[in-house]
Structure 1
Amino acid sequence: MVNEAKPTLFIVHGGWHVPESYKKLTGALESRGYEVHLPRLPSANGTRPPNADLFTDSLLVRNYVESLVQAGRTVVVIMHSYGGQVGSNALCGLGLQARAKQFLPGGISHLIYMTAYAVPEGSAMMDKVKEFGNMDLVPLVFDFADDDSCLFRDPKGLMVGHGAEKSEVDAYVNTFVRWNGKSMYQATEHAAWRDIPVSYIYTTADMTVPLAYQQNIVKGLEKAGCKVQTFELETGHCPNLTATEDVVQIVEKVIIG
């Protein structure tokens, strides 16, 4: 049963993922009485050639969350991987404080980046890869087609890693879809983290967004004047699967404050 005293949770999924990929996490959160919203991003619609990208995804997330806050909801946004790029770009001006100043109800109380990209305006995910001098690894990790759609070459080993039963990992990876890889190269226009409270979940065994990238991202936020509450999980890139209960506990800690 949904507890109306709890904030509404909104999850922005990562590349290659779809809502079904997060059923273990959404089930755990719902069992705690949270209402969870997790729409499928258009860039993961499987269309060939791709007809949606970062900006299409941002528009969907913006409209969806805006409808929640306009209804007076307090919303906590959880962003995974590429989802951080989408949420950052989409959610400016929807914070609780910003809306309260305009005498408007509802708003986003927290942004939780789960091994996710949170970069300044005008930056793309791949800019971080370039910054670390790792562009030569891109074709080894991603299988790009001529139409820029792509698959992850070794999702079990490089993305999921340890922490789940083989049957669980198999089922999880089977939810993955061909994704518009061009989205990784598109720069954000906005940075919602500038005026909404931020938490970041580090994943120390991550081989998709390495810990050094994550730490660098947080350092950039702090340098920009953003206070970041951090948490650390000894897991790979998909803690929603491999450290589900830990993620739930972190979400509840963020909410309680």
Structure 2
Amino acid sequence: MSAQQPTIVLVHGAFADSSSWNGVVDRLQTHGHPVVAASNPLRGLASDSQYVRQLVAAIDGPVVLVGHSYGGSVISNAAKGLGNVRALVFAAAFLPDEGESAITLSGRFPGSTLGETLHPVPVTLPDGRQVTDLYIEKSKFHQQFAADVPEGTAAVMAATQRPVADAALAEGASAPAWKDIPSWVLVATEDRNIPADAQTFMAGRADATVVTVAASHAVAVSRPGEVARLIDAAARATG
């Protein structure tokens, strides 16, 4: 590896927050990696990506950028043209090509049951714009998002979930960084949000290094060791 350890920047997706990375953070820090778990705004793909891009640009030294779920779309947008990003890691995540959205990609392959679990909440932003926030219904959260997580843990995750603006999931991506930056992908085979076939398709066209884990969409919570090992492998390979 290079003399300077890369900073690992973790970007959560919809219906989660940065605490969803806690188990991964613990393992990475044990192995000496500096880590930042970003707070993804979940308001819109372009604006969320710009937020993460500014965070990464302010880090001194190399970065491995990691995204879960919709956070994969964010890191691919954010990293484009950033010289300090050495690797991208996608954990049960979207790798959109230019113009593709999370909705179009998840709907391209059968298997997602997310739509029938969503609870929309209209909200008015400080600038007067009307948007719709999406939550997963609490009674359906465990089976939909985190079926392999203990029920009590899933109940806490459901209560603390961050809503995503519906427009963010429908917004098309810009030119993707995965075409220029080496990528690693963890495919969660029991994912009910993003079908495993969709994850495999996206990983293949990105020519990514792939590992497959029998896990739910909440793989960073249920299998933090596997996620941390893949991140560590990416950091070492690009050092």
Whole-angstrom distance in 2 between the partners of 1:207 and 1:40: 24
Give how far 1:20 is off: 2.0
Specify the SS of the correspondent of 1:42: coil
- Work out which of the residue numbers 53, 57, 67 in structure 1 matches 2:58: 67
In 2, are the aligned partners of 1:84 and 1:117 still within 8 Å (CA)?
yes
| Contact 1:21–1:176 (CA under 8 A) maintained in structure 2 | no
2:95 is paired with a residue whose SS is: coil
* Paired-residue identity, %: 20
Indicate the residue corresponding to 1:224 in structure 2: none
Letter of the structure 2 residue corresponding to residue 21 of structure 1: S
Listed one character per residue, the Cα deviations across residues 28-51 of structure 1 (whole Å, up to 9, x for unaligned) are 2222221111221222xxxxxxxx
- Are the aligned partners of 1:126 and 1:185 in contact in 2 as well (CA < 8 Å)? yes
- Give the C-alpha shift of residue 134 in structure 1: 7.3
Structure 1 residue 249 corresponds to structure 2 residue 229:
yes
Written as runs of structure 1 = structure 2, the 5 A alignment for 1:22-171 is 22-43=21-42, 52-68=43-59, 71=60, 73-94=61-82, 99=83, 107-132=84-109, 139-146=115-122, 147-153=131-137, 154-162=140-148, 164-171=149-156
Q: Any conservation in 2 of the 1:21–1:175 contact (CA below 8 Å)?
A: no
Q: CA deviation at 1:111?
A: 0.3
Structure 2 CA distance for aligned equivalents of residues 249 and 55 of structure 1: 30
Cα separation, 2, equivalents of 1:179 and 1:93: 26
Q: Kindly provide the CA deviation profile for residues 192-243 of structure 1, in whole angstroms up to 9, marking residues without a partner as x.
A: 111100111011111111111111212332xxxxx31001111111111100
How far 1:128 moved relative to its partner?
Answer: 1.5
Q: 1:138 to 1:209 in 2, by over 3 A?
A: closer
Residue 203 of structure 2 aligns with which residue?
A: 218
Partner deviation per Cα, 1:112-143 (whole Å, 9 max, x = no partner) = 011111111111111113423679x5641322
In structure 2, what residue type is equivalent to 1:116?
Answer: A
C-alpha distance in structure 1 between counterparts of 2:188 and 2:114, whole Å: 20
Question: Residue type matched to 2:151 in 1?
Answer: K
Q: Which runs of 5+ in 2 are unaligned?
A: 123-130
What RMSD, in angstroms, separates the aligned Cα atoms of the two structures? 1.9
Question: Of the candidates 198, 212, 216, which is equivalent to residue 236 of structure 1?
Answer: 216
Q: Which has the higher contact order (CA 8 A, sep 6+)?
A: 2
Letter in 2 for 1:151: Y
Q: Say whether residues 1:208 and 2:196 are aligned partners.
A: no
Question: 1:171 Cα deviation (Å)?
Answer: 2.8
Unmatched segments (≥5 aa) in structure 1: 44-51, 100-106, 222-226
Query: What TM-score, normalized to structure 1?
Result: 0.81
Cα distance change of structure 1 residues 230 and 138 upon mapping to structure 2, 3 Å threshold = closer
Q: What's the CA shift for 1:191?
A: 0.4
Per-residue deviation, 1:145: 2.7
